[in-house]
Amino acid sequence: MKLPAPFFLKLFFIKNIRLTLRQPFLGTHLHAARLINAAAMNLDGVEDGDLTAVYNLIEKHGETMAHICAIFLLRRKWRIRLLAGALTKRLLWSLTNTKLTEIILLVMAFGGLEDFTSSIRLMLAFQQKMMAPRNLSHE
């Protein structure tokens, strides 16, 4: 993904910077899930086509969505802690709504959430099998 370069890089004739979206780690998903749960997004008036509700949603959660995209682009614990705020501000002023949607769709498609839910199902099935009563007599 290409973004316009910040001003200090343009002084060195660098026009664009490239950010690569790679498969996120489990910690990245956990950090993003905390933000999504804390935001408590509500789409009540949006389906009805109420434009005021759409702008209210953008006002409340636009920065949160940019922060979540920054988390998935940075993907490591210390990078997120050190650079997420600056990258969020940069994304807010350089991403379009279409690019934001594209990043979210790529994370959902290639993020590996289905593997995580499958492993939880496997552990639950294994736990139920181990906890099931058995006949241990020698007969």
Number of H helices, E strands in the chain: 6, 2
Q: Is the pLDDT of residue 139 over 80?
A: no
CA dihedral 26, 32, 37, 43 (to 10 degrees): -130
Q: Is the pLDDT of residue 138 over 70?
A: no
User: What's the pLDDT score for residue 83?
Assistant: 92
User: What's the pLDDT score for residue 23?
Assistant: 83
User: What's the pLDDT score for residue 134?
Assistant: 67
User: What's the pLDDT score for residue 81?
Assistant: 92
Closest CA to 78 of 31, 8, 35: 31
Report yes or no on whether pTM surpasses 0.85. Answer: no
User: What's the pLDDT score for residue 111?
Assistant: 74
User: Using one digit for the tens of pLDDT, what is the confidence trace for 98-110?
Assistant: 888 888 888 888 7
**Domain parsing of the chain, residue ranges:** 2-131
Query: What mean pLDDT comes out for the span 48-53?
Result: 79
3-state per-residue secondary structure call for 4-16: ECCHHHHCCCCCE
